Amino acid sequence: MSEGGTAKTTESLVLEPVVEFRQVEKTFNPGTRKAYTAIRDVDFVIEDRPDYGEFISIVGPSGSGKSTVLNLIQGFSDVYPPTQGKVLVRGKNVTGPGRDRGMIFQKYSSFPHRSVLRNVTFGLEIHRDQLGLSRSEMDDRAMELIHRVGLDGHESKYPHQLSGGQQQRVAIARTLVLKPSIVLMDEPFSALDEPTRHEMQRLIHELWHEIHATVFIVTHSISEAIYLGDRVWIMTPAPGRIGAAFEDIIPPRQGSDPLTTQEMPQFKEAVGEVVRAFNLLESAHEDTGDT
């Protein structure tokens, strides 16, 4: 092999981080009376761990910029660009949404006039030319995801014929069918009742081990954050920054049931630890009068 060839091979082995925030600040409506700095000095690197993916849970008080962090990764036009700093995905500045990133919201985001199958093929249809898929290949891929999220037999139904949990399964299938390497979930289960929420947590936990994507989830539930996350970040009150970060706070729990896991003494200790850190950050903020 030529010298040039060797250099190229070595270079291609260097993996860019999946997501990197460098001292990011976002102020909405700057220079007006409505100016609001949602985040400041948000700084982190999520390294690429091939065939693994990572699950990052973000908790924090309301208004501390949690959704803003996700929206900046997604590159939504009403949030992009950051006021200060850099948001990089695989080493490149984020300038808009892309097929490599998929978002799942709290509100069911399915199209009401499309069947479950057509909701799931929607993203594939949009990117049909790039993907080079025939109609039957798109349908096959969508049916595989419909099966994976447990909606077999519901593919011809319309969203209004489904329960809240089933609609959220459609949203998950719609996102995962495009095989994104980054999945962003903004309080995806807060509208669901407790048993359905546990079902969805179990599903996401299983799927995440299969898809090896890097997942960011914003949640109000500290138990959910700990059950799902390899890392748990607590944002400070606004301007939000990562005030505390926990890694592998509970032992690996592949295949474990959320309810059983949450009964474990180690899990309860972990919840206590995160709640204490959360409260400390809030009271430190109040002490500085920075409210």
Query: SS3 for 33?
Result: coil
Our finding on whether 242 is near ligand ADP (CB under 6 A) is no
- Contact at 8 Å (CB) between 17 and 91? yes
Instruction: By CB under 6 A, name the one of 28, 80, 105, 158 that touches ligand ADP.
Output: 28
Binding mask 140-159 for ligand ADP (x = CB under 6 A): --------------------
Residue of 112, 99, 220, 249 whose CA lies nearest to 170: 112
Contact region with ligand ADP (CB under 6 A), list: 64-72, 105-113, 209-217, 263-271:
64-72
Our finding on whether 60 is near ligand ADP (CB under 6 A) is: yes
243 contacts ligand ADP (rule: CB under 6 A): no
Euclidean distance between CA atoms 256 and 226, whole angstroms: 13
30 upstream amide cis, omega within 30 of 0? no
What minimum distance in Å lies between the beta carbon of 30 and ligand ADP?
10
Distance in angstroms (rounded) separating the CA atoms of residues 141 and 125: 12
Q: CB 16 → ligand ADP: shortest distance, Å?
A: 26
* 63, 81, 98, 164: which one binds ligand ADP (CB under 6 A): 63
Using CA atoms, how far apart are residues 102 and 95, in angstroms rounded to an integer?
Answer: 15
Tokens of 106: 């709290």
> Is there binding between residue 79 and ligand ADP (CB under 6 A)?
yes
| Binding test (CB under 6 A) with ligand ADP, winner from 64, 74, 115, 119 | 64
Q: Compare residues 146 and 225 and give the one whose CB is closer to ligand ADP.
A: 225
Write out the binding residues for ligand ADP, residues 29-58 only, by CB under 6 A.
36, 38
66 is a contact residue toward ligand ADP (CB under 6 A): yes
Output the smallest distance, CB 135 to ligand ADP, in A: 37
As measured in angstroms, the least distance from the Cβ of 185 to ligand ADP is: 12
Interface residue with ligand ADP, options 19, 46, 65, 189 (CB under 6 A): 65
Give the residue with the Cβ less far from ligand ADP, 79 or 177.
79
Residue keyed to tokens 């960011």: 216
Rounded CA-CA distance 250/262 in Å is 11
| Segment interacting with ligand ADP (CB under 6 A) among 44-52, 66-74, 116-124, 248-256 | 66-74
Cβ neighbours of residue 169 closer than 8 Å, sequence gap 6 or more: 149, 150, 151, 200, 203
Residue 290 beta carbon to ligand ADP: minimum distance, rounded to whole angstroms? 15
Alpha carbon dihedral 113, 117, 120, 122, in 10-degree steps, equals: -60
Contact flag: residue 214 with ligand ADP (CB under 6 A): no
Amino acid present at 17: P
User: Which residue type is seen at 270?
Assistant: A
Please report the beta strands in 29-151, taking only residues with DSSP state E, as ranges in sequence order.
36-46, 55-59, 84-89, 92-93, 101-104
> Is residue 102 classed as helix, strand or coil in its secondary structure?
strand
Residue 175 · residue 205 · CB < 8 Å: no
Interface region with ligand ADP, contact rule CB under 6 A, candidates 60-68, 167-175, 261-269, 276-284: 60-68
Residues lying near ligand ADP in the complex (CB under 6 A): 28, 36, 38, 60, 62-68, 78-79
